[in-house]
């Protein structure tokens, strides 16, 4: 058996580094988001759950597993944050990595319990599940490393296939007609300067990118279980896709985490072949059968249960079936049409017989119902998750711009550090950091367009109240405060439709642009989002 010492070492170090970045990113936002003067104070969040605690403390602890049941004071939250940073650092330098990553998993899930909605993205759940995978497999890392390697490959397969299938099963027309990437760079959460340039690439480039995304996140996902060079080919494609996504947008630690998860696709021998001076000679591990059996008894429940959220991504559809049938039935060969027709009839007949058979009822469907029960049972711990990223591509960008006034006539605009606001502000490059407020405001634009102001969450109004009160902790999350000495009497939210500005050759204001700087965005007023808010 080929050795796995090098990929597991890189996986361990990379995972610890991802944990450190994740804790650090949230740590610098604590005061403005979840401390006592933040937008959603942890004390208020946990207080709402005290009712469940008084009814049944066991049920409350199970539904919301968190160390913050102990305390929600500012000093305790900061201590937990520092402890997460310390444990991830100790895991990185090799001090009891399994124990420290277990602590990181517990603490980060606790942060999510008080950090909703700021830590409610898929990448936050992904790092918790990856931590769990490492902790689950760590007792066998030295004596049976293949278990951890296989579980990592299985996770990569689930993530890639889930992301590929959701782009089909949601029925989004832009993914079907291959125009999705022509909108992506402009409408993604936090574009960077390269996004502007890639956005204006020719349409053939965007269609090629869409096809490549379909292929890499679809058929190539199954290469995770191929031979050594097959998996290396998959690794290169996954890495190229990750690099493209994260070089043209700001996605925090997601790019690093995705790359770390793919390290176990490559065996020791290939690492040694790629860089013989960096890595030692590979060696095999002779594992007793008793340990192998024990390892798989532990891993199989996790692997089988993790199929449940992946299967839910399909929504009952077989990916790319319609496209294949369209191509086949529109050929000039009648025999192909007849073959496809007969094959469909045969498949439908077989599936109907199997699905309605007593054997299927006893075996597959009953087993699947049990797996669904297990998946629901462990859902509060975020150790098994559903992955479906950018299943529906937004074709527009509505930005929420906040303004203050003292007389309801003259309005001055607040500016954020990262999200679009000032049309002349250069899009940021923020490697590793994930600004929760800027990300969440991006989600509100499409929601307001679909459902109006009734879709606005409670934290939106808490944020406006913080602006009216002039809370320094919240204002520190912004880049410009038009009322630095005394907060305004009124605050309102204005909706703008943002688009990237035209390339320089098409600009009608080149002289003005040369004097004032490049215009990155152009915007059109959509309307005012609700009534102005004031403190009563």
Write out 235-263 in H/E/C secondary structure: HHHHHHHHHHHHHCCCCCCHHHHHHHHHH
**By CB neighbour count within 10 A (0-12 exposed, 13-18 middle, 19+ buried), where does 416 fall?**
buried
Nearest to 477 by CA among 33, 87, 130: 33
Count of CB atoms situated within 10 Å of the CB of 437: 22
Distances (CA, A) of 334 to 202, 325, 326: 37, 13, 14
Greatest C-alpha distance within the chain: 80
For residue 376, how far is the Cα from the chain centroid?
A: 20
Two structure tokens written together for 403: 């303004």
Q: Which residues pair with 495 in a beta bridge?
A: 400, 527
Q: Report the SS3 class of residue 529.
A: strand
Q: Are 264 and 8 within 8 A, CB to CB?
A: yes
pLDDT at 339: 47
Count of CB atoms situated within 10 Å of the CB of 51: 9
Sole residue written with tokens 């296989």: 150
pLDDT at 1: 44
pLDDT at 248: 93
CA separation for the pair 441, 443 (Å, rounded): 5
Kindly report the pTM of this predicted structure: 0.89
Two structure tokens written together for 67: 């160390």
CA dihedral 198, 202, 204, 205 (to 10 degrees): -20
CA separation for the pair 218, 493 (Å, rounded): 41
Element (H, E) at 494: strand 490-500
Element (H, E) at 55: helix 50-55
Cis? peptide before 360, omega within 30° of 0: no
Query: What are the DSSP calls for 350-384, one per residue?
Result: HHHHHHTSHHHIIIIIHHHHHHHHHHHHHGGGTSS
Q: Report the SS3 class of residue 490.
A: strand
Q: Report the SS3 class of residue 318.
A: coil
CA separation for the pair 300, 303 (Å, rounded): 5
DSSP 8-class letter at 1: -
Count of CB atoms situated within 10 Å of the CB of 93: 10
Helices (H), 387-521: 436-451, 458-469, 472-475, 510-516
Angle at 521 between CA 517 and CA 526, to 5 degrees: 135
pLDDT at 320: 56
pLDDT at 510: 54
Helix, strand counts (H, E) of the chain: 26, 6
Query: What are the DSSP calls for 73-117, one per residue?
Result: -HHHHHHHHHHHHHHHHHHHTTSSHHHHHHHHHHHHHHHHHHSTT
CA separation for the pair 170, 164 (Å, rounded): 11
Distances (CA, A) of 473 to 12, 460, 484, 488: 35, 16, 13, 17
For residue 518, how far is the Cα from the chain centroid?
A: 31
Distances (CA, A) of 32 to 190, 374, 412, 474, 476: 20, 37, 22, 4, 7
Two structure tokens written together for 451: 């459902």
CA separation for the pair 319, 432 (Å, rounded): 33
CA dihedral 359, 362, 368, 369 (to 10 degrees): 150
Digit-by-digit pLDDT tens for the chain (536 residues) are: 467 888 999 999 999 999 999 999 999 999 999 999 999 999 888 877 765 555 566 777 888 889 998 999 999 999 999 999 999 999 999 999 999 999 999 999 999 999 888 998 889 999 999 999 999 999 998 889 999 999 999 999 999 999 988 888 888 889 988 999 999 999 999 999 999 999 999 999 999 999 999 999 989 999 999 998 999 999 999 999 999 999 999 999 999 999 999 999 998 888 777 777 666 666 667 788 899 999 999 999 999 999 998 888 876 555 555 555 555 555 444 444 444 455 555 555 555 555 555 555 556 667 778 888 888 888 888 899 988 888 888 888 999 999 999 999 999 999 999 999 999 999 999 999 999 999 999 988 887 877 677 778 999 999 999 999 999 999 999 999 999 989 999 999 999 999 999 886 444 555 555 445 678 999 999 989 888 888 87
**By CB neighbour count within 10 A (0-12 exposed, 13-18 middle, 19+ buried), where does 451 fall?**
exposed
């Amino acid at each position: 058996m080929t050795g796995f010492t090098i990929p597991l070492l890189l996986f361990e170090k990379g995972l610890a580094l991802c944990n450190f970045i994740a804790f650090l990113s949230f740590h610098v936002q604590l005061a403005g988001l979840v401390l006592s003067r933040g937008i959603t104070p942890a004390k208020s969040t946990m207080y709402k759950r005290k009712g469940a605690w008084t009814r049944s403390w066991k049920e409350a602890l199970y539904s919301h597993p968190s160390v913050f049941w102990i305390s929600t004071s500012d000093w305790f939250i900061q201590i937990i944050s520092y402890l997460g940073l310390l444990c991830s650092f100790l895991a990185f330098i090799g001090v009891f990595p399994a124990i420290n990553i277990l602590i990181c998993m517990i603490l980060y899930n606790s942060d999510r319990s008080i950090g909703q909605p700021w830590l409610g993205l898929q990448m936050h759940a992904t790092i918790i599940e990856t931590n769990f995978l490492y902790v689950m497999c760590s007792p066998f890392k030295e004596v049976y490393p293949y278990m951890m390697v296989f579980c990592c490959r299985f996770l990569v397969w689930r993530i890639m296939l889930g992301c590929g299938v959701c782009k089909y099963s949601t029925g989004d027309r832009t993914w079907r007609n291959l125009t999705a990437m022509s909108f992506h760079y402009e409408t993604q959460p936090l574009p960077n300067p390269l996004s502007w340039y890639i956005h204006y690439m020719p349409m053939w480039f965007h269609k090629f990118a869409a096809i490549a995304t379909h292929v890499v996140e679809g058929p190539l996902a199954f290469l995770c279980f191929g031979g050594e060079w097959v998996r290396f080919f998959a690794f290169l494609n996954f890495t190229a896709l990750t690099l493209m996504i994260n070089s043209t947008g700001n996605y925090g630690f997601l790019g690093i985490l995705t790359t770390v998860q793919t390290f176990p696709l490559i065996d020791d021998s290939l690492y040694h072949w790629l860089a013989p001076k960096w890595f030692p000679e590979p060696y095999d591990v002779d594992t007793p059968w008793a340990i192998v059996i024990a390892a798989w008894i532990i891993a199989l429940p996790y692997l089988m249960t993790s199929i449940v959220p992946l299967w839910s991504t399909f929504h009952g559809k077989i990916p790319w079936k319609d496209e294949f049938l369209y191509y086949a039935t529109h050929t000039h060969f009648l025999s192909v049409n007849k073959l496809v027709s007969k094959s469909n009839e045969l498949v439908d007949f077989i599936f109907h017989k199997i699905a309605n058979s007593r054997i299927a009822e006893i075996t597959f469907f009953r087993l699947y119902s049990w797996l669904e029960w297990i998946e629901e049972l462990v859902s509060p711990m975020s150790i098994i998750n559903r992955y479906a990223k950018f299943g529906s591509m937004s074709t527009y960008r509505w930005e929420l711009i906040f303004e203050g006034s003292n007389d309801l006539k003259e309005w001055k605009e607040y500016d954020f550090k990262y999200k679009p606001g000032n049309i002349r502000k250069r899009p940021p490059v923020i490697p590793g950091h994930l600004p929760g407020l800027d990300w969440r405001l991006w989600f509100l634009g499409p929601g307001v367009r679909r459902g109006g102001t009734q879709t606005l969450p409670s934290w939106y109004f808490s944020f406006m109240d913080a602006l009216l009160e002039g809370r320094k902790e919240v204002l520190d999350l912004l880049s410009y405060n038009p009322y630095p000495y005394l907060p305004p009497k009124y605050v309102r939210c204005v909706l703008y439709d943002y688009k990237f500005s035209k390339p320089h050759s098409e600009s009608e204001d080149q002289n003005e642009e040369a004097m004032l700087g490049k215009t990155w965005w152009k915007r059109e007023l959509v309307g005012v989002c609700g009534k102005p808010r004031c403190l009563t």
